[in-house]
Amino acid sequence: MDDFRQRLDVAGESFVATTFNQEEVSESGVEFLATLWAAKGAVVKAALDPPSDLKEIVIFPNECGRLAARIGGHCFDLSLSHYGTYVVAVAMAVES
């Protein structure tokens, strides 16, 4: 989380605007954004054809209320956690 906080301090709003969608930043606390950043990184690693623009990865609450991700028509289940200064995320592609 410290690396993410430093990135925010240096790039600020331009980083947020180029990385996150408007719906994602409605809760704009540093811990929440760091968790979304980790989730997008996990999706990039899990995707067969990851996008070059992170805004193409949409993080949203699924029908069960858990956060999930979507790139176009491809969906991913997410497991997210943070403890102290650490944030971890795992993404798994699922049939849509």
Q: What is the CATH number of the domain that holds 68?
A: 3.90.470.20
Domain boundaries, position 89:
2-94
The pLDDT score that the predictor gives to residue 30 is 84
Give Cα 52 distance to the centre of its chain.
Answer: 14
Cα gap 45→48, rounded to integer Å: 8
The proportion of the chain whose per-residue pLDDT surpasses 70, expressed as a percent, equals: 97
The pLDDT score that the predictor gives to residue 61 is 92
The pLDDT score that the predictor gives to residue 27 is 67
pLDDT tens for 22-67 read 888 876 688 888 999 999 999 999 999 999 999 999 999 999 999 9
Counted domains in the chain: 1
Amino acid, single-letter form, for residue 67: L
59-84 core/surface letters (b: 16 or more CB in 10 A; e: else) = beeeeeeebbbbbeebbbbbebeeee
Nearest-CA neighbor of 87 among 42, 50, 28? 42
